[in-house]
Structure 1
Amino acid sequence: MSVLNNMTDKDDKEYEPYDHRIVEKPCSNVRATANLIKASLGSGLLAGPLAFSNSGWGVGLLGTIIVGFICGHCIHILVKTSYGCCKIERKPQLGYAETCKTVFENGPQCLRRFANAASIFAEFALICTYVGVCCIYTVLISDSVKQLMDTYVPGVEISVEQYCLIILIPLCLMCQIKYLKWLAIFSLLANVFLMLTYLLCLYYAFQGDITIADKKIAGSLARFPAFISTVIFAMEGIGVVMPVENEMKTPRKFLGFPSVLVVAMSVIVFSYSTLGLLGYLRYGDILRGSITLNLPMDEWPAICAKVFIALSIFFTYPLQFYVVFDIFQRYSDTHGKEKYRTPLQILARVLGVCFCVAIGMALPLLEQIINIVGACFYSILGLVIPSVIETVFRWENLGRFKWILWKNIFIMLFGLFAVFAGCTVTILDIIKILNNRQP
């Protein structure tokens, strides 16, 4: 019999996790929403038109809504399962990996031996994903600055690697912020710059002819995996969900309707679908990786769009780095002495940022390699793992006709398809790039 059924009403009344949660610097609902939007909606928003080019405008619009709903649902079941585990363990809060471990520890007898493996796998996936995101963000910021400098200050000849070193210091300083409450300020700024870029892209979309006659409703089936991978990569921010929910002033407002999750996912799906649709209808199949690359660089609105997206990525960096450091901090706090804790954390943050910048400078084809890691682990973290842990947690109460089991099997298969599709398409792109480089 699962623990879910073994919990008595008395236990439910005796321990309410939210009543025992003590947060040093709690986040308001607005700040939590800003963090969640920024964690999920990043530079991938600008790849929306290219994704619609792969899928066709009809399939793209419908697919974006469906994928957004699935991603939002998986966040919902992750948070709800974590809350149930908190009641079982009588703990005020649990992280992503801790939730995975607790689910298996209290699940069916035959699965309990996998508890430690589930926790290790979840943390490995989190670290790989967010270290990869930090690496690619470093290069994206530096590349954006270089393009602007090369165009408007041609006398300055600095390589992308040198720009990486230049932004190293401000990144190290920003990543010293310990609380999500203060990181929310950067998230708000990043959201503002991203929305300004979004509006400028819409401005240029409406400047030309938006026609539907010569645009395909459904694209090639062979390019559909590229669409799925791009949408999931752009919408997923699952690693930030538990830290955000755990540090809310009113965590009960995270789920429900209206709630932090509903507002955030509505903004994300609306922004992605509108820019993807209008950008594709305006530029068609000549779209490049980011719609900003299609904008004319001799006009000030286009210049502003380039600057704004660089600033948006820059201010998003410490939020992504927070996930990596949160894992390190959980282990260091239990082993280190109190008097060395603060200096150790400062040093670790600096070394962590330097490590990400160094990888960004060293690896060739970084964007493609990180896309493999991102597409793979975002799908696993955001789709596969939530569906598995809810199934294990509710094993003895899967609903009428076991609908929860069938629903989660569908989500898991969809996530595994996204993993395979994302890796396959990116590997083919890498092979194509390498072949084109050969003399």
Structure 2
Amino acid sequence: MADLFAGDMPAQPKTDEPSADAPLADRLRPRDLSEVVGQEHITGPEGAIGRMVAAGRLSSMILWGPPGTGKTSTARLLADSVGMRFVAISAVFSGVADLKKAFAEAEVATKAGQRTLLFVDEIHRFNRAQQDGFLPFVEKGTVTLVGATTENPSFELNAALLSRAQVLILRRLDADALGRLLDKAEALEGPLPITPAAREALIQSADGDGRFLLNQAETLYAAKIKEPLDPAGLGAFLQRRVAVYDKDREGHYNLISALHKSLRGSDPQAALYYMARMLTAGEEPLYVLRRLVRFASEDVGLADPEALVQCLAAKEAYDFLGSPEGELAIVQACLYLATAPKSNAAYAAQKAAWKSARETGSLMPPQNILNAPTKLMKDIGYGKDYAYDHDADEGFSGADYWPEDMAPQTFYKPVERGFERQVIERMAYWDKLSAKRRGE
């Protein structure tokens, strides 16, 4: 079914009008690129698609955007705008045989002087070998490929295919664009049986998905509601929309990145929001806990040594209580991290030390700090003149522990925040004692 938005495969050309009993989204599908709402940044005169249409020639492209933002309609209207033959396949339902047939028919059409726009919905679902199969036909100009995907092309599509196609990003529909869709629906079907406040709630519930919004509107029309519903009545009537979140896809990484950076930025409110987004959408609580534990070491570190303890305690509490009770412990750890003093000194020290270890290879530690379990080892100097720090004044010998062929390094540089202020004082004191004992 062709509709106003992406997701369903278009089955009818532009000249076919939908029947009176067709779904509302199908009856409201745009008839021209100018009618595609919310994507003016690419369909307008200054946009990539607008410029292609004005020139009368299309290049292959990947339309990347959330569900219900107009990918399918845009592709269909592109073909109409430049007089190309439009062929649509779905990577969900099509296989190699379908692709071979589409390419063969396109070659015949090319000989007859007819260019072909091949629209591939959910193109990321084709495997790497199948994606490679497009390359010779795109290069020869047999087809102009327009792929649609909800997933990040950088992760899901071959580099060779991406190098031959322009990636165009369709935006999540904002409240204004969704409002215009409802205006179109009401112009066709009459006023919706909802109050102005409920209309705003309906738009918000769509989460940027135009198709979902129109499907909800159609449900309201079909119910023949006599009195307008307020927001509470609307919520009781319509099923609650579940947030879009694929735990192994880009949405997963976007939210965990937002959570991590909100914590680093000491914004407990935003951090709690992004964590709630993940957990209410079905993310594994233990995954969130693992990221919090990592954050405690990477971004808080010794500025507040208790941060790691809090996160591990939250993990234990969740293991003990499970969901939903144990999720409060995760919230506590999240808030602790967001409000804790921050230092990445330990993280930076690790990277610097690991780099130095790789570069210096197998340098021998100084003999005086090596154990000498055998007589031979003692005879050749292992452990000789070792200064036992507990016997030294103030429990500090100030000995040189670095390999003879390596100058002392400074990997760990604590910051003037939280507990690390005390660490700085200790290190400065030890440096002062070392200098004194060296006679400096």
TM over 0.5: no
Q: Kindly indicate which of the two structures has a greater share of residues assigned to strand.
A: 2
Higher Rg: 2
The TM-score normalised by the length of structure 2 is 0.24
Indicate the structure whose relative CO is greater, using CA pairs within 8 Å and at least 6 residues apart: 1
